[in-house]
A = this chain, B = another copy of it.
Amino acid sequence: MTGARTSFRAIRDEMARRISERQWRPGALIPGEEALAREFGAARATVNRALQELARAGLIERRRRAGTRVALHPVREARFVIPLVRQEIEGRGAAYQYRLLSRREERPPEIVRARLGLGESVPLMHVRCLHLADRAPYQYEDRWINLDAVPAAREADFAATSPNEWLVANAPFTEAEFTFAAAAADGEEGSLLGLGEGSPVFVAERITWLGDLPITLVRMVHPPSHRMVTRL
């Protein structure tokens, strides 16, 4: 790429090579930024950028004062895309349907407030809905939206457009946390998904923030036939 004097990519790749070939061994301390800059004949900022990328990739661990070490167990990471439910369903060649179950401004239960890190007085919109694939229940969605962050959600009726799609278009986020787990369906979830109470369900939760500001918490419940697959 661009024949810069010494590109951060070249430096990054060279350091990755040293790690993979065990010239720098797991757990070992590698030279400081200044020393590396001298060695590679580059500015410290350039070396810093290369090191930051390696740290993000999990090959090294960096701590102030303590220096930079080769990670003991290179952390493999996988990526998965977060599609809209609708795209997920249509992508499988199934017909998508959406049904709004309820929508109202509501005081959230303590656990929701806590997970969003909000005070007692913050107004939230509570939306429950169902997504179907070829007329079969595919996902039950239970969502709380922070009206302080997204006041426009008060005007949205979510009758035709799912909160999922509405938020994508109206409330970008910068941070997100995902949680996946198995659970036993409660009575309502079970009946909505066409399962018996206590059936295993696959639960995905997502919290999103814009900077520090919590946007929404959503709990997505799938029947046990659901598979989340990702590659690499």
Task: Indicate if A16 sits at the interface (CB-CB under 8 A).
Answer: yes
8 Å CB contact of A227 from B13, B17, B179, B201: B179
8 Å CB contact of A181 from B76, B78, B227: B227
CB of A76 within 8 A of CB of B87, answer no
Task: Indicate if A39 sits at the interface (CB-CB under 8 A).
Answer: no
- Which residues of A (1-51) have their CB < 8 Å from a CB of B? 12-13, 16-17, 19-20, 22, 26
Q: Of the listed stretches A92-100, A153-161, A166-174, name the one at the interface; the rest are far from the partner chain.
A: A166-174
A196–chain B nearest beta-carbon distance, Å: 10
Task: Produce 1/0 per residue, A178-215, CB < 8 A to B.
Answer: 11111110000000000000111111000000111000
A198–chain B nearest beta-carbon distance, Å: 8
A26–chain B nearest beta-carbon distance, Å: 7
Per the bound structure, the CA–CA distance linking A60 and B182 in Å amounts to 34
Task: Indicate if A84 sits at the interface (CB-CB under 8 A).
Answer: yes
CB of B168 within 8 A of CB of A73, answer yes
8 Å CB contact of A13 from B74, B184, B211: B211
In the assembled complex, which residues on chain B have CB atoms less than 8 Å from the CB atom of A111? none
- If over half of A's interface residues share one DSSP class (helix, strand or loop), that class is named, otherwise mixed; here it is mixed
- Which residue of chain B has its CB nearest to the CB of A83? B75
8 Å CB contact of A182 from B74, B201, B232: B201
Task: Indicate if A230 sits at the interface (CB-CB under 8 A).
Answer: yes
A14–chain B nearest beta-carbon distance, Å: 9
A216–chain B nearest beta-carbon distance, Å: 12
Task: Indicate if A67 sits at the interface (CB-CB under 8 A).
Answer: no
CB of A57 within 8 A of CB of B168, answer no
8 Å CB contact of A77 from B80, B175, B180, B228: B80
**Which 6 A-B pairs rank lowest in CB-CB distance, beginning with the nearest?**
A200-B200, A182-B182, A13-B211, A182-B202, A180-B228, A182-B200
What would be 29 A-B contacts, judged by CB atoms less than 8 Å apart? A13-B210, A16-B172, A16-B211, A17-B211, A20-B171, A22-B170, A58-B81, A59-B174, A73-B83, A77-B79, A77-B80, A77-B81, A77-B82, A78-B81, A79-B79, A80-B80, A175-B231, A176-B231, A178-B229, A179-B228, A179-B229, A180-B227, A181-B202, A182-B201, A182-B202, A182-B203, A182-B226, A183-B200, A198-B198
